[in-house]
Chains A and B, each alone.
Chain A
Amino acid sequence: MTNIVEVKGLKKSYKEFEAVKGVDLTIEEGEIFGFLGPNGAGKSTTINMMSTIIRPSSGTAMINGYDVVKQKNDVRASIGLIFQEQTLDVKLTANENLMLHCKFYGIDKNKREERIQEVLEIVDLTDKRSNIVETFSGGMKRRLEIARGLLHYPKVLFLDEPTVGLDPQTRNHIWEYILKLKEKAGITIFLTTHYMDEAEICDRVAVMDHGELIALDTPEALKNNVGGDIIEISTEDNIEAKKRIEKIYETDVTESDNKTLTFQVSKGSEFLVNFVKEFDIPITSVNLRRPTLNDVFLHLTGREIRDETLSKKDLAKQQMRGRH
């Protein structure tokens, strides 16, 4: 297998602030690679550097064998980009949007028709071809953007938060399309997300926090690293319960929403039986589950991804999308 993406020591600083503090990664052809982390972790900055949009402060990134600084146009021709915010011309029809893209990327005149039909089929928009994009729903616009990103047969498709601002049902659909893409076109997909469940479909996941990669592995391996099962309980006196559990079972307990205590144990079901019997603070609820990527993040950083509040910029972006 060849490495389609090779990133070495990629950094970006804005004056004093280091947004990305040196990222190293390689991605094989045909992989779905997930980039996971809270808002403001530096995911978008990294993706922007890899896709020639912003210039790295130092380090190198090679996409399809081209350098993102020295061979910008070759890189641009090899990648498809789907941004966080919507980038369609809503006053034009779906067909016009796609046709313009063909022209921007210099796709052969007699291949255009065939390609447009092909990508519209992938995202199930064939019958909407001559409709003005303004009349599309959020999910349809997203699908059209994915179709557009595929028109020039990119080697790598970058998806920056592809499902932000979409309802759960539409999100599922988008993921179906992305998986279908991998099977059909065999292209490499690089995506960022802060939804943990979405990262589960990736072949490998890199976890980013405060501008650094803190883990990089398959979702399975990452979850195994967490160690055992997750117990979630709530009690009548959480503060006291937390202290006791930490003392008796020598494990870290985190509290979320002031209601639930979460901790890990190696053999969950056996542990639980004894725990409920022995523990002397009244328990109001108890839950045992396998670790998720959210626990991975928690384990690595001591914080939960969903705790992060949206930054002002992200809020503005979501509002922008809502307007279309």
Chain B
Amino acid sequence: MIFRTLQISIQEIKVLFADRQALAILFLMPVLLILFLSLALTDIYHQKVGRHFQVVLLAHSKKIPEILHAKMKGYGYEILVDSAESQSIEEYVQLHDPEVVLELPQDLEALLEKRKDSVSTEKIKISFRPNLDQSYQDLIKAQLTLIFQSMVIDRVNEEILGSSDLGPGDPSAGKSVALRSFDHQTQLFEVVGKTKVLPNPLQQTVPAWSLFAMFFIVIPLSNSFIRDRKLGMFKRLLGYNVSKGELILGKVAPYIVINCLQLFAMYGVGRFVMPWLTDRGFVVHGDLGPLLIVTLVSSLAATSFGLLIASWARTAEQATSLGPLLVVIMALTGGVMIPHFVMPQFMQKLAHLSPLYWGLESYFDVFLYHTPVKAMLYNIAFLFGFALITFLLAIYRFRWNDDDGG
């Protein structure tokens, strides 16, 4: 049995490798998708995960930016300082396209430097890059308000408590005892309960597009079955004392191997190629064992789905139009194209219908959360359930030839 199954598998690989277009779809397409989408989605992910803002301060004196620098650093801002004397904020925006830029009024600087006791109504000018999320714009404005208010309070405290020995850059300078505990906002809160680690762009795109590519096996797999049925190959092979089970196994097994190769090729691209192109690498915390289990079950789901399309479709044209369409829909709902965590709640629930969602969650279990295999079984069981149902449906509908008599 093993000998004939192996021969059929080898033959299937030979035929597949003679088809360069199919190989391009299976290997080149996901590499390009990972490459371009990781780069294209970087901003979207930065909006959600570990966001750091770069703020340009246009100031008239050097002293104020130093104080601001110290305070804003506490909020995680990256500060660049430029002179407001040589250019207006409008000119600066036009020339440099900064993410956030502030121009301080001279009056405010004078007040904070104790050169003046009152401030005019001139406001702090701020400009945001147009694609910056509105919620972040509001957050930055609120945080800056807090910073400036605290600076004014410091100034008032200094007036009340007398001059301090500490320099202006020192965070403790000029603070009342009560205010010393309020260094910055984050100290006010302690986050409790579970927080979910969100993937970075590569941690999302590598497993997501690998899964997508694995399911795209539907094209060569279904075409192979339909071609063999049309050519009468099954009739011929069954005549060689090959059982139907051996025949299906022999034809499907190479695609499972190819699925594994796809995953490891994409993993290699994420791990070794992408760090050259992006500032983030494909950080993986998982072991090889769970990775193999998830890949194997994902592959069973993908190949069973391919088999179902092969058994349903009468022609290769039907299979190549319906199969990829369904894969794209499953990928769209399953969080491959649009990350699950940015979807609205309804779509997040709908995602549970897609096998790619369960596959992706299983990969996150491996790559991100370092989940033990036992805890991964929930996601894997859904994926395996999909594989089993599609396989049984495929076998139920399977036709070994197109003859209706003759």
Are A and B co-members of a single complex? no
State the B residues within 8 Å of A (CB).
none
State the A residues within 8 Å of B (CB).
none
